[in-house]
Amino acid sequence: MWGNVRGRGETPARASPTGFPELKNDTFLRAAQGEETEYTPVWCMRQAGRYLPEFRETRAAQDFFATCRSPERCCELTLQPLQRFPLDAAIIFSDILVVPQALGMEVEMVPGKGPTFPEPLKEVEDLLKLRQKVDVAAELDYVFKAITLTRHKLEGKVPLIGFSGAPWTLMSYMIEGGGSKTMAKAKAWLYRHPKASHCLLTLLTEVIVDYLVGQVAAGAQALQLFESHAGHLGPEQFAEFALPFIQSIAKQVKSKLQKDALPAVPMIVFAKDAHYALEDLAQSGYEVVGLDWTIRPQEARQRTGKSITLQGNLDPCALYAPKEKIGELVKRMVEGFGSQRYIANLGHGLYPDMSPEHVGAFVDAVHMHSRHLNKSQ
Ligand code: 1CP
């Protein structure tokens, strides 16, 4: 199943793989599309990650981006958490920084330090060093291959989520040259060079649109856009340098999917720490809004209305609590959001020192409490 199939019978404008195994658990897709579900579906950001011993083994002594370029290894890492937990979705193993690489920038993963750009953007003139027309099909073919392979190997167990970083978050890495506490260099561009910033964000938007459409063509059944650095912007900068591009991505992806007779997959926007923009995000063209843990479920519901699905938002650090306590926190969270039009997740990714057993307790608690809540209503 392709989720919500549109344009069936039309000749696809691009050759997409077909003949994927039939989807057995569509709970996540149903919740994302606002349909009724028997229980609340659940997945975890960074579910394929270092907290799993089998992940550390597969990744051991391998360069991170070499791993990203191996469809077989990406497929294996994507499937690992599903072998342990009854998760309702898989997310393709990759990284948001493959997009700056496609634009011609070098990015290395330095052990103990994280992603590093040896030559970040410093001056406005550096923009000219970027590829102005990116052949996404060629540059990011390895991600598309990983998605197609994983879709087959999933055997229809659960849907596969594709993703991209959002323009502002990618821009901030390209200027900072890696992680940063303040984002001062990237924010200086916004204040000093607003026009050049708009040019860069527009270029990124074009690449991201083709990248996301390509992921659906390859077999992705939902898409998540990560605006992980939204919290560094205030309401005004978000309105100028993030929201218009986030909106444009949803609009363009949807229209290209339709034009190419590809499935109309649900789209999720996760803008971390951007509560000030919650109303706008709920109307930005995405079926699902992802939330971090710093907002109450009831408040998020009130501010976003009934026609949107919410995703989130347990504090990842709650997984350090004893298992009974995790159960209590999950119960409160599910009651706060309500069991419908809701996808349970953490408010951000899992950390490497978290216990797989506690991740399992989180997943089980979501299923159990949402079934109870459904019955009692
Ligand atoms: O060697 C390793 O394994 C390093 C850890 C790691 C992992 C497991 C990195 C480095 N990336 C990933 C995979 C990854 N990255 C996924 C896989 C799918 C899954 O979730 O299971 C996804 C969706 C991402 C997306 C990503 N990369 C984001 C957005 C989500 C978020 O965390 O906000 C961001 C910001 C990145 C950049 C990145 N990649 C890796 C690190 C350590 C970072 C953060 C760097 C920083 O800002 O300090």
User: What does the DSSP 8-state code read for residue 42?
Assistant: B
Question: Which amino acid, one-letter code, is at 155?
Answer: E
Q: What is the CATH number of domain 27-376?
A: 3.20.20.210
**Residue to mutate, 46, 168, 232, 293, ligand 1, most ligand atoms under 8 Å from C-beta:** 46
Q: Residue-wise over 278-295: b if at least 16 C-beta within 10 A, else e?
A: bebbbebbbbbbbbbbeb
The per-residue pLDDT for range 95-147, each reduced to its tens digit, is 999 999 999 999 999 988 999 999 999 999 999 999 999 999 999 999 999 99
Q: Residue-wise over 29-43: b if at least 16 C-beta within 10 A, else e?
A: bbbbbeeebebbbbb
The number of the ligand 1 atom at minimal distance from the alpha carbon of 226 is 29
- Asked if residues 272 and 232 have their Cβ atoms less than 8 Å apart, the reply is no
What is the side-by-side strand order in the sheet with 342-346?
A: 90-91, 160-165, 222-227, 267-271, 288-290, 309-314, 342-346
Say which of 39, 51, 69, 173 is annotated catalytic: 173
Domain ranges of the chain: 27-376
> For residues 36 and 33, what is the distance between their CA atoms, to the nearest angstrom?
9
Cα 56 to the center of its chain, rounded Å: 22
The per-residue pLDDT for range 157-167, each reduced to its tens digit, is 999 999 999 99
Tokens 């981006």 correspond to what residue?
65
**Residue to mutate, 56, 95, 183, ligand 1, most ligand atoms under 8 Å from C-beta:** 95
pTM for the structure as a whole:
0.95
| Pairing verdict, β 108-110 and 114-116 | antiparallel
The per-residue pLDDT for range 265-292, each reduced to its tens digit, is 999 999 999 999 999 999 999 999 999 9
The CA-atom distances, in angstroms, between 161 and each of 32, 69, 187, 284 are 12, 18, 30, 20
